Structure 1
C-alpha cells in the first residue's frame, strides 16, 4: 500500500491525503494550497495500516459553510479505453445531479461530482479521491442535514475472511484505478459514510452497480413476499460488529441483490445508455411515487416491464467485471435484476420518501 499522511486543508479543513515527502497539496473542493513545513510531524493516515478509522469524524472537524443542510456526492465511472468500459455511468451522474437540483432543491454548490469528464485531477473518480470525497460528505453534519451518495459504475465481490458476511463475500465498488489501487470494500463504506451519522441526519445512497444489495453493510434488508407484504431481514454480523449509525438514519437503494448483476443499457431510455437502476429510480420519482415502498416497487416494475416488452434488457451490457473480462466487452441480452432497499434502522416503508 502506498504511504501517505492525512492533513486538513488550511482553508476548508477537508482531510487531504498527503503523499510521503510532499510539501504541499491542493484541495479538490476549495482549491486552496496547503503547505507542509515538516511532513514528518504530520500524523499518519488512519488507512496507513489498511484499516478504516473507527470514527472518521474525528479527522473531519468542520465542513465549509457554503454547503448548507443538503449536500451530495455523485460518482460516475465509464472506465474509458479499458476492457471494462461502460457507456451509461456518466449519463447517470448528470441525470442524478439534475434530479437533486430541480426536484429536491440541492444547491449546485453542495454537489460534488467525480467523473472522468472533470478537468480537475482531484475530481477524477480514483480511490483516493473517492475516499476524500466521502469524508467531505459526512464531515460536520448535524441534525436536519440531508446527505446523498450516488454511485454508478462497476461493483464486485471479494472473499470475506472475518466471518461477518453470511454469504462469505464482501461487496465492493470499483474506482477508476481499481486495477492498481484496489476496490472500496463495504466495510470501509460503512465506517466512513454510515457509522459517523449523528441523530437527526439522513443519508440516502443510490448504488447502481453489480452485487450492490448490501454494499453499505446496513443491518436490515427489505424483502417482499408474493402478496406484496414486506418484512425486514436481519443482516447484522454474527460477530456482533456494529454496522449502524451514531443515531442518524441511513438508507440505500441498490441496483440488484448481492448475487445479481446490473444493466448498462439503452433499452429503457430508448435514446442513450444509462444504468437500469438509476433510470428506474429517477422515473419512479418523476412518476409521483412518494413512499419508500412505492419507489422500490416502481423501480422493480419498470425493469420487469422492460424485460417483458423487449424480451430482455438488451442494447447494452452487464456491469460485471468477470463477464466483461471473459467476453472482451459488454454482455448483451436479457437480465434479471431486483433493486434492493436496506436501512440502518427498522422503519415503515410506507413512510414518505424525500431527500
Structure 2
C-alpha cells in the first residue's frame, strides 16, 4: 500500500499577538505523525509535517495538491492519504454566494493577515478550497481528514478567546471587525461547515472527516499533565492507539465520552458513509 500524510500544526502566527497564539497544535501534528508510523505502517518518508512558519497557505495547499495529483496519476498507486490540521478557525465574508449566513468557514495558516475589516483570503484556507481539493479524490483512494480547529458556526464572539476553565484556550480567532463577519451575527444563522460540503459532494470518492466540534462550538487547546494538545486530538489518538475501538463510529463515541468526562463542552463529529462509519480508521470501504 502506498501512503501519504500531511500533518499541520500551528501555534504561532506571523501577524497575530502572542495572546492569540496556541500551545498544543505543534504537539498535535507530531503526535499524529508518530502514531501513523507506529500503528498504521506509514514510513517516515511518506509523512510531511508542517508547523508554525513552515505552515503557510501555499505550503499546505501545495502539499495536498501534490498528493491528489499523485492519486490521479496512473501507475502511482497511492491508496491512502491522511490530512490533519490543528490551528485557529475563523470566518470570512462569503464571496461565492453559497452561504446562507454570508460567511465562509476558514482555517488559519501561519501567514494569516488582515486586509481592511476582514482577513486576507490569500492567508487562510477556506472551506470551499478544501472541498474543491477533496472533490478530486479518485475512486479507490482513501482520504482520512482530522481537523482540530473551530470551523465555527453562529454564536461565536470575541469573548470566546478568554480561557474559562483552567488553562484551556479556544481554537477560534474572531474576524478583525464585525464587518468581517458580514452578517454572521444573525440569530439562527444556518452556517454550512466543511462537514456539509463533504456530505453534499458529488466526487467519485468522499473523504472521512473527523472534526473537533460542532459548528456552534469552540475546540479546546488544553493542558494534559503538563503538556498541551487539542482536547479532541488527545482523546482521538488515545482511542486509535489503544485499539479498543473497532470502527470509526466507535472511535467517535469513545472520544466524546472522554470529552464529557473532562467537562469539555465540544462534541467531536464524524462525517462518513455508513460503510465508512462501520469500518476501522485507516481502512478502505
Shorter-chain TM-score range: 0.7 to 0.9
The runs of 5 or more residues in structure 2 that have no matched partner are: 115-121, 154-192
Matches of 1:77 and 1:348 in 2, distance apart? 29
Determine the structure 2 residue equivalent to 1:100. 36
Matches of 1:249 and 1:175 in 2, distance apart? 24
Determine the structure 1 residue equivalent to 2:131. 190
Residues 352 and 131 of structure 1, relative CA distance in 2, 3 Å threshold: closer
Task: Spell out the pairing of 1:1-355 with structure 2 (5 A cutoff).
Answer: 69-79=2-12, 82-116=18-52, 124-141=54-71, 145-179=79-113, 181-192=122-133, 194-211=134-151, 214-215=193-194, 217-220=196-199, 236=200, 243-245=201-203, 247-266=204-223, 269-287=224-242, 288-307=244-263, 335-343=264-272, 345=273, 347=275, 349-354=277-282
Measured after TM superposition, the shift of residue 348 of structure 1 is 5.9
Q: State the SS of the aligned residue for 2:70.
A: coil
Residues 217 and 183 of structure 1, relative CA distance in 2, 3 Å threshold: farther
Greater Rg by CA: 1
8 Å contact kept, 1:292–1:352: yes
Identify, as 1 or 2, the structure richer in helix: 2
Measured after TM superposition, the shift of residue 259 of structure 1 is 1.6
Measured after TM superposition, the shift of residue 130 of structure 1 is 1.3
Matches of 1:127 and 1:216 in 2, distance apart? 21
Residues 347 and 161 of structure 1, relative CA distance in 2, 3 Å threshold: farther
The runs of 5 or more residues in structure 1 that have no matched partner are: 1-67, 221-235, 237-242, 308-334
Matches of 1:348 and 1:132 in 2, distance apart? 27
Q: Superposition RMSD on alpha carbons, in Å?
A: 2.2
Matches of 1:273 and 1:138 in 2, distance apart? 32
Residues 212 and 72 of structure 1, relative CA distance in 2, 3 Å threshold: farther
Residues 215 and 99 of structure 1, relative CA distance in 2, 3 Å threshold: same
Matches of 2:276 and 2:83 in 1, distance apart? 22
Q: Which has the higher contact order (CA 8 A, sep 6+)?
A: 2
Residues 128 and 348 of structure 1, relative CA distance in 2, 3 Å threshold: closer
Normalised by the length of structure 1, the TM-score is 0.60
Measured after TM superposition, the shift of residue 137 of structure 1 is 2.2
8 Å contact kept, 1:201–1:249: no
Measured after TM superposition, the shift of residue 185 of structure 1 is 0.4
The count of corresponding residues between Structure 1 and Structure 2 is 229
